[in-house]
Amino acid sequence: MQRAVVLGGSFSGLLIARVLSDFAEDVVVLEPNLLTAEGNRPGAPHRRQLHALLAMGQLQLERWFPGIVEEMANDGAHLGRGSAVQFYVDGRRRPAMNDLQMIGATRPFIENSVLRRTRAVSNIRFVTGRAQGLLLHHDRVRGVRYTAGTETTATEIEADFVVDAMGRSSRLTTWLTQHGWPAAPVDRMRIDLGYATATFRRGDELPATVIVHSAPGPASNYLASACEPGALAAVEGNRWSVVVAGYHDYRPTADPDQFRARLRRCVAPLQQVANHCALEGEIDTFHFRESRRLRFTGLERFPAGLAVSGDAMASVNPIYGQGLTLATLQASCLSAHLRSGASPREPAWGYFRRTDRVVDAAWSLSTTADLAQPHVTGPYPRAYNVIRWAGDRITEASVKDPVINRAFMNVLHMRQHPRTLTRPRVLLRTARVLLDR
């Protein structure tokens, strides 16, 4: 392949560019707002929210940028392992896992590390510009139209392969339908989630705790009132990044007193931060209306030389921290697709089939849990009541039993497909653990 163009230079776009650098002579990343030296970027408020990178995401990141995790640690990120990584459900702490490591760092820090490594790849270059549409020739994408900076006249760039990594605001569907192509079917689940992230000065109020994640579960019937959902991570610059979440009419606001009050109703480490640490700066809120995925495999026609990645393809409830990891897995799917000898002159069906499997896994985990919220009204998958009942029992058993916990956490960290939780030995052990109580 001579030239590939990636639309969007955020987390997903950078990983896709890295993958394409193995197959194309020239890889262009088109992005209107590249990260500044401070790691900020206009027009993407979700980047200011606490971002956890799941274990599978870390593994995949190392695959594409060997040594990057150590580099991040050298640059000030915190690596939490074993008992320093604390997951709670209904206020009860899960057993620790010695082989689980997570990175404590802000999203701009993680993204900046990936950007630095991507910039170091000799056949990747960055163009500051906003894509305005596709150039199509018969059934094939042959490039992109974009505007640079404040210019109003569009420039064209030819490409053999184009990847949409423009996030949730991608206009790809509009562009394609304007050219007479069908729109991909969309699955949606309205969840009405509110997020609020604050930064606190970090002292020695907690031992080596790096990551804490607290979620509601079956014992509280998933309502936030039993123990507030929230998370914290020790991040670069001696700070705690802390998030609280709530649904529907219980969404958190930017009020510092309310934020502290909610932390005090959360698990012990978050209470400690509320009681002992000074707030730095403003509290950032974010409203996440719906989980959404585009099913490209549901199409009968799709142009050759085009693929989609990251939130532009699927964006699920962020409370489960899957978005970045999903992007790393999609990048690996693209690599597998191109390594299989697939031609960019054909529609990328093989890529879409591969990504369907990983998106299915993320979607089923997050939507099954979301449907337990009283205000979420569907759509329900087939046999939802059975799935929900079994899921609740496995969650209960996982807090008590390290073996079930490992199976559960491997799914949560996207190391295993949720289907693995229905294996007979997991179900039998769950029954034994619960009958023993």
Binding site for ligand FAD (CB under 6 A): 7-13, 30-33, 43-44, 46, 49, 51-52, 130-131, 165-167, 169, 195, 286, 288, 310-312, 315, 318, 321-325, 327
**Residue number with CB closer to ligand FAD (206 or 327):** 327
Residue with tokens 């990328």: 348
Measured CA to CA, the distance from residue 83 to residue 321 in angstroms comes to: 20
**Residue number with CB closer to ligand FAD (5 or 371):** 5
Smallest separation, CB 368 to ligand FAD (Å) = 18
Measured CA to CA, the distance from residue 360 to residue 179 in angstroms comes to: 29
Smallest separation, CB 56 to ligand FAD (Å) = 10
Smallest separation, CB 8 to ligand FAD (Å) = 3
Rg (Cα) of the chain, in Å, rounded? 22
Q: Is 168 helix (H, G, I), strand (E, B) or coil?
A: helix
**Residue number with CB closer to ligand FAD (144 or 338):** 144
Q: Residue 193 burial by CB count (10 A; 0-12/13-18/19+): exposed, middle or buried?
A: buried
The torsion angles phi and psi of 135, rounded to 5 degrees, stand at -100, 125
> Is cis: bond before 42, omega within 30 of 0?
no
Smallest separation, CB 165 to ligand FAD (Å) = 5
**Residue number with CB closer to ligand FAD (8 or 246):** 8
Smallest separation, CB 11 to ligand FAD (Å) = 4
**Residue number with CB closer to ligand FAD (136 or 387):** 136
Give the pairing type, strands 239-247 and 186-201.
antiparallel
CA distances, 60 to each of 104, 143, 324, 332 (Å): 17, 29, 10, 8
Q: Residue 88: name the closest of 341, 235, 265, 234 by CA.
A: 265
Smallest separation, CB 320 to ligand FAD (Å) = 8
Q: Is 277 helix (H, G, I), strand (E, B) or coil?
A: coil
**Residue number with CB closer to ligand FAD (360 or 392):** 360
Measured CA to CA, the distance from residue 323 to residue 314 in angstroms comes to: 8
Smallest separation, CB 326 to ligand FAD (Å) = 6
Q: Directed axis angle between helix 11-20 and helix 323-339, to 10°?
A: 20
Smallest separation, CB 211 to ligand FAD (Å) = 10
Smallest separation, CB 271 to ligand FAD (Å) = 21
**Residue number with CB closer to ligand FAD (198 or 404):** 198
Residue 13, CB-side half-sphere exposure with 13 Å CA sphere: 32
Measured CA to CA, the distance from residue 404 to residue 227 in angstroms comes to: 23
Smallest separation, CB 254 to ligand FAD (Å) = 14
**Residue number with CB closer to ligand FAD (19 or 387):** 19
Q: Residue 315: name the closest of 340, 288, 296 by CA.
A: 288
Q: Residue 159: name the closest of 303, 270, 280 by CA.
A: 303
Other CB atoms closer than 10 Å to residue 282's CB: what's the count?
Answer: 11
**Residue number with CB closer to ligand FAD (19 or 52):** 52
Q: Residue 271 burial by CB count (10 A; 0-12/13-18/19+): exposed, middle or buried?
A: middle
